[in-house]
Structure 1
């Protein structure tokens, strides 16, 4: 643990340098997270004449701009990174390093957050403040819970993606499974449509799955639809899911690495 803590500043600097070096790929990847802007245009048109199931135009503006912020901060491409390193045999070099691969992966992806926030978030924040200021959370407690939930969403998302990438130890391409995951995530996380607008049975499924804790919970706290004790309970549940994701990823990784080393990769 101490070794990892000492190495983390250097790992973050290296990760940031890599992000800058591959800025074209970085921009292309960022463009894939702009779906909330498309959905914003669609739903504000739907609510132009009257609110739709409790959502007016201002509510949709707040929801989708908050979604854009949360998604840009918490998303990760680690699943592609792990998949390619396992397939190409490059993981061996990472395993020889004195720190756990999860630490180096995390540093790489955390180091990209400042650039993502620099590009995407100022615009979203300005639009939020000017167009939907009245619905934003203002309570210090709720804002603190939003900050914690943002961290929890990052950890949960990152380690779920690590788990999917780790499946490449057993299957030729875990990216097919990732595509399935993204389809489910887009619906049950609230990425495409607010969960409150889903059919009742789908809301029940979403309430018992981890996906809403990757996106919808911090979004709902930020725009004031989840606050106080309810928000605190959702954050506690989110952190429980995040802990389970970390432990599950570590256990699967350990088994996968043993298999990888047994084949002499």
Structure 2
């Protein structure tokens, strides 16, 4: 219980600190949010008011990109620069001497940053939608069942995205310069996560490929579940795969972390 209180305190302190940088949050979010207006204009041109592509009509496709922008920073896998810097400059030693799990600390830090960001982003997006005139296209879940399962799926997406991000960052133990790997991962993740286009709209072979990878389940799957695009057996299968990826990613995280620490401590010695 005491350990849990330590992580909760990290979350609270980070939320308090992040509130001092609201203007920076606003600027960084606007850089991401403004392309949403472009996507709205694009899909209005492609579909018109009554058009449809796959399981998406104009309202559902706009809601899809709305949720992509809202949750992208929270669950989308990417490098944790704190981890990379701590490994490279030796700052990791400070945490290894404390009675706290470093992965747990980073998770608490991420939650402390993302919780206020989520609420601020939602308010900005709604205001932006009202000003730009696309808020009328946003839709609610088709029923309570899909809403509750989408909440569960979003939570799993955050955990999976965190584990993948930690794994990518911990590769710094072995890679002096990982820019090439980073560029490849950025391309693969943006393609298979549904960041650019809903995975259900991909050709069958590409869709099957994306279904195998974990990245679809950190962004695309929870959103398509929310919209009711994923139903019935596909819903159960998708949630099962998502849970398995969360567990596997956590196990890989532990292995990478322990192996990396051995190398780090050996070099330090």
Check whether the contact 2:78–2:168 (CA below 8 A) recurs between aligned residues. Answer: no
C-alpha change, 1:38 and 1:183, in structure 2 (3 Å) is farther
- 1:43-91 deviations in Å (ceiling 9; x for gaps): 3322237635333322321211122223244246652221111111111
Shift of 1:27: 4.3
Q: 1:23 to 1:49 in 2, by over 3 A?
A: closer
Unaligned runs of 5+ in 2: none
1:231 corresponds to? 235
Residue number in structure 2 paired with 1:198: 202
Q: 2:186 — aligned with what?
A: 182
TM-score (norm 2): 0.86
Q: Which runs of 5+ in 1 are unaligned?
A: none
Instruction: Give the corresponding residue for 2:260.
Output: 256
Q: Label 1:159 to 1:189 Cα distance change in 2 as closer, same or farther (>3 A).
A: same
CA distance in 2, matches of 1:58, 1:74: 23
Q: 2 CA distance for matches of 1:118 and 1:86?
A: 32
Which of the numbers 212, 215, 228 marks the counterpart of 1:211?
215
> Counterpart of 2:228 in 1: which secondary structure?
coil
SS in 2 for 1:193: coil
Distance 1:201 1:227, change over 3 A: closer
Secondary structure of the residue aligned to 1:235 is helix
Please say if residues 83 and 175 of structure 1, whose CA atoms lie closer than 8 Å, have aligned partners that are also in contact: no
Q: Normalization by structure 1: what TM-score?
A: 0.87
> 95-104 vs 112-121, which deviates more?
112-121
Match of 1:89 in 2: 90
The answer as to whether partners of 2:141 and 2:227 remain within 8 angstroms in 1 is yes
